C-alpha cells in the first residue's frame, strides 16, 4: 500500500516539476514609447474623431457647390382636351441652368465658415491625439505604481508571516503570550487582504492600458520602462503663456467664434437683394391631333429682394448675434480653464517633487525602526504592538515614496499636455497609420462579425486559460490529490496544460493513473476481505 502512495507522490512531484519548468504564455514587452505609438495608430476613439474631418470636408464641398453653376432637367407627357375640341397629347423636355451672381455675401460667408470647419475638425483631431498620449502615459505609470505596490504589500505579508511563525515558536517555548499569536495572525490576514486589493488594482490598470491601445484585452504585458527623474525647468508663467498660444482646442474655439461672425454676415445677407443668371432650352412634341415639334430657349438675369417677411430675417440676425456672443464668452471661459489646468498640474508636480526627497529619508528611518522593534521583541524587551506599528510605518513609507515618484511623472506629463506641446515626429508617423480598417470592420454585416468572433472561441479561451495557469496552483492541486484517483486527474490536467512538455508529461500522467488504479484495486480487495 505504501509503495503505491510513494509512486503516486513521485508522479505528482514530477508533474509539478514539469509544470514549473515549462514556458508560460509569452508576455509582450511594452515600452512607453511603443504604447503611445500603438494607441495613436489603433485607438477607436481617434477613429471616431477622425470622421468629423470627413464631415467637415463634405460640408465645404457642399457650400462651394451652392455658389456654383447648377443644371436641372425636367420632362413630362401631357394630355388635355377642351369642350368642343379634340384631345391634345404631347411630350415636353426642358433644361435650365442657373448661376448666382450676387447673394449679398450669403454664399461667400457660408463657404468661409465651412473652410473654418475643416480647420476646426483637424485641430480637434490633433488635440484628441495629445489627450490620448497623456491618457496612455497616465495608464502606463498607474500600472507601474500598482506593480510596485504589490511588491511592497507582498513583502509586508511575508514579514507578518515571519512574525506569526516566530511568535508561535516563542509561545510554544513559553516566552510569549497567546494574545501575541492571535494578534500576529490578525495582522497577517489584513496584510493578505491588502495584497489582494493591490493585485486587483494592477489588473484593472493593465485593462485600462489595453483598452487605450485597442489590443487583445487578455494579452499579457510586461512594462519595460520605469520611473526616471527628469527635472522640469520651465517656469509657471512660461507654461501658461505657451498654453494660451499653442493649445489646439483654444485655436479651434477662436475659429468657432469666426464661424459665428460669418453666420451673422450670412443672416444679414437676407436684407440684401440677390441676382442670378439663368438660361434654358426646351423641346416639345404634339402627337394628337397632329404631329408637331417646337423648340425654345431663354436667357436672362433675375433679381429678388425680400421687402417684408414679418420679422423672420431680423430674428435670424438676432439669433446669429447671440450665438456669436456666446462663442466669445466660451472662448474666454476656455482660456481661463486652460490657465487653471496648467496651474493645477504645475503645482501638483512641484508638490510631488518635494515629497520625493522627504519620503526617501523616511524609508531609511522606518527600516531602522522596524529592525530595532523586532529585535527588542525577540529579546523580550519589547511588545508586539511596537513591531506591528514599525511594520505599518515601514510599508507606509515605501508606499509614500512610490506614490511621490509616480505622482511626479504623471503630473509632469499633465503639465506638458495642458501646455499643448503636441506630438513628436515619431508619434505623428504612428498617428498617420490610423486608417479606415476598424471603421470597415465596424460597419460589416453583424452576422459576419459574429461568425468571425465566435468561430473557435471556446478553443482559444481554453488555450489561454491553460497557458495562464500558475505552476503553484497546479502543484498544490496535485499535492492535495496524492494517492487517490484525484492524483491521476491532477497529473493529467498538468500535462494537458503543458503541450510543450510532450511525451514526458503524458508519461507522468499515465504513471499516476496506473498508481491510482492499483490503489483502487487494493482498497477494493481490502473491503472485500473485511
pLDDT at 482 over 80: no
Report the distance separating Cα 485 and Cα 493, nearest Å: 13
pLDDT at 407 over 60: yes
Question: Contact at 8 Å (CB) between 45 and 211?
Answer: no
Mean pLDDT computed over 136-150: 96
Segment holding 25, helix H or strand E: none
Q: What was the pLDDT predicted at 81?
A: 63
Question: Contact at 8 Å (CB) between 515 and 15?
Answer: no
Q: List, as one string, the DSSP characters of 74-105.
A: EEEEEEE--TTS--EEEEEEEEEEEEEEE-TT
Q: What was the pLDDT predicted at 124?
A: 93
The model's pLDDT over 349-389, given as tens digits with 9 standing for 90+, comes to 999 999 988 887 788 888 888 888 878 877 877 777 788 88
Select the more confidently predicted residue: 138 or 433. 138
Q: Is the dihedral of CA 121, 119, 59, 338 positive or negative?
A: positive
- Count CB atoms within 10 A of the CB of residue 7: 19
What is the domain partition of the chain in residue ranges?
A: 2-25+459-529, 31-446
Q: Residue 298: helix, strand or coil by DSSP?
A: strand
Helical pair 236-246 and 312-378, crossing angle rounded to 10 deg: 140
- Nine-digit cell at 119? 480647420
Give Cα 92 to chain centroid, integer Å. Answer: 62
pLDDT at 522 over 70: no
Q: How far is CA 202 from CA 146, 269, 412, in A?
A: 5, 61, 22
Report the distance separating Cα 257 and Cα 246, nearest Å: 17
Closest CA to 255 of 349, 331, 182, 173: 331
283: Cβ contacts below 8 Å, ≥ 6 apart: 92, 93, 94, 293, 294, 295, 296
Q: What was the pLDDT predicted at 475?
A: 37
Domain 31-446 grouped into CATH 3.40.50.1860: no
Question: Contact at 8 Å (CB) between 217 and 204?
Answer: no
Q: What was the pLDDT predicted at 290?
A: 63
Report the distance separating Cα 228 and Cα 78, nearest Å: 85
Q: Is the whole model's pTM more than 0.85, yes or no? A: no
The model's pLDDT over 80-103, given as tens digits with 9 standing for 90+, comes to 666 666 677 677 888 888 888 888
Q: Are strands 28-30 and 221-223 parallel, antiparallel or unpaired?
A: parallel
Q: What was the pLDDT predicted at 490?
A: 40
Report the distance separating Cα 204 and Cα 145, nearest Å: 12
The model's pLDDT over 73-83, given as tens digits with 9 standing for 90+, comes to 887 777 666 66
461: Cβ contacts below 8 Å, ≥ 6 apart: none
Amino acid at each position: 500500500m505504501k509503495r503505491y502512495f510513494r509512486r503516486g507522490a513521485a508522479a505528482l512531484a514530477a508533474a509539478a516539476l514539469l509544470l514549473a519548468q515549462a514556458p508560460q504564455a509569452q508576455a509582450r514587452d511594452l515600452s512607453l514609447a511603443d504604447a503611445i505609438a500603438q494607441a495613436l495608430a489603433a485607438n477607436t476613439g481617434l477613429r471616431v474623431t477622425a470622421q468629423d474631418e470627413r464631415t467637415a470636408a463634405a460640408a465645404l464641398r457642399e457650400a462651394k457647390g451652392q455658389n456654383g453653376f447648377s443644371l436641372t432637367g425636367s420632362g413630362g407627357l401631357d394630355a388635355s382636351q377642351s369642350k368642343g375640341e379634340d384631345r391634345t397629347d404631347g411630350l415636353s423636355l426642358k433644361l435650365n441652368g442657373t448661376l448666382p451672381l450676387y447673394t449679398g455675401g450669403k454664399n461667400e460667408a457660408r463657404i468661409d465658415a465651412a473652410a473654418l470647419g475643416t480647420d476646426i475638425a483637424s485641430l480637434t483631431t490633433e488635440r484628441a491625439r495629445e489627450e490620448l498620449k497623456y491618457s496612455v502615459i497616465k495608464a502606463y505609470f498607474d500600472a507601474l505604481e500598482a506593480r510596485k505596490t504589490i511588491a511592497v504589500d507582498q513583502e509586508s505579508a511575508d514579514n507578518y508571516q515571519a512574525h506569526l511563525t516566530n511568535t508561535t515558536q516563542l509561545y510554544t517555548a513559553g516566552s510569549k503570550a497567546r494574545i501575541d499569536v492571535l494578534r500576529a495572525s490578525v495582522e497577517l490576514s489584513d496584510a493578505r487582504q491588502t495584497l489582494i486589493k493591490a493585485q486587483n488594482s494592477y489588473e484593472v490598470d493593465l485593462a485600462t492600458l489595453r483598452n487605450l491601445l485597442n489590443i487583445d484585452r487578455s494579452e499579457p504585458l510586461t512594462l519595460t520602462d520605469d520611473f526616471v527623474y527628469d527635472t522640469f525647468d520651465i517656469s509657471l508663467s512660461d507654461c501658461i503663456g505657451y498654453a494660451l498660444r499653442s493649445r489646439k482646442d483654444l485655436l479651434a474655439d477662436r475659429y468657432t467664434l469666426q464661424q459665428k461672425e460669418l453666420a451673422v454676415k450670412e443672416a444679414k445677407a437676407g436684407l440684401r437683394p440677390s441676382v442670378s443668371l439663368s438660361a434654358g432650352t426646351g423641346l416639345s412634341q404634339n402627337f394628337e391631333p397632329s404631329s408637331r415639334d417646337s423648340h425654345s430657349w431663354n436667357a436672362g438675369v433675375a433679381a429678388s429682394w425680400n421687402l417684408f417677411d414679418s420679422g423672420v430675417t431680423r430674428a435670424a440676425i438676432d439669433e446669429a448675434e447671440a450665438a456669436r456672443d456666446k462663442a466669445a464668452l466660451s472662448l474666454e471661459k476656455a482660456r481661463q480653464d486652460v490657465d487653471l489646468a496648467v496651474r493645477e498640474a504645475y503645482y501638483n508636480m512641484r508638490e510631488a517633487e518635494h515629497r520625493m526627497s522627504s519620503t526617501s529619508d523616511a524609508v531609511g528611518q522606518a527600516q531602522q525602526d522596524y529592525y530595532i522593534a523586532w529585535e527588542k521583541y525577540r529579546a523580550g524587551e519589547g511588545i508586539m504592538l511596537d513591531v506591528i506599528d514599525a511594520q505599518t510605518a515601514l510599508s507606509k513609507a515605501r508606499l509614500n515614496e512610490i506614490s511621490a515618484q509616480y505622482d511626479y511623472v504623471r503630473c509632469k506629463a499633465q503639465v506638458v499636455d495642458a501646455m499643448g506641446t503636441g506630438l513628436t515626429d515619431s508619434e505623428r508617423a504612428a498617428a498617420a497609420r490610423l486608417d479606415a480598417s476598424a471603421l470597415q470592420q465596424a460597419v460589416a454585416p453583424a452576422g459576419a462579425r459574429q461568425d468571425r468572433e465566435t468561430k473557435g472561441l471556446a478553443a482559444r479561451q481554453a488555450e489561454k486559460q491553460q497557458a495562464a495557469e500558475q505552476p503553484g496552483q497546479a502543484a498544490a492541486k496535485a499535492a492535495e490529490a496524492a494517492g487517490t484517483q484525484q492524483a491521476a486527474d491532477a497529473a493529467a490536467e498538468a500535462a494537458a496544460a503543458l503541450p510543450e512538455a510532450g511525451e514526458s508529461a503524458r508519461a507522468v500522467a499515465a504513471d499516476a493513473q496506473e498508481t491510482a488504479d492499483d490503489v483502487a484495486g487494493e482498497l477494493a480487495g481490502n473491503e472485500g476481505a473485511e
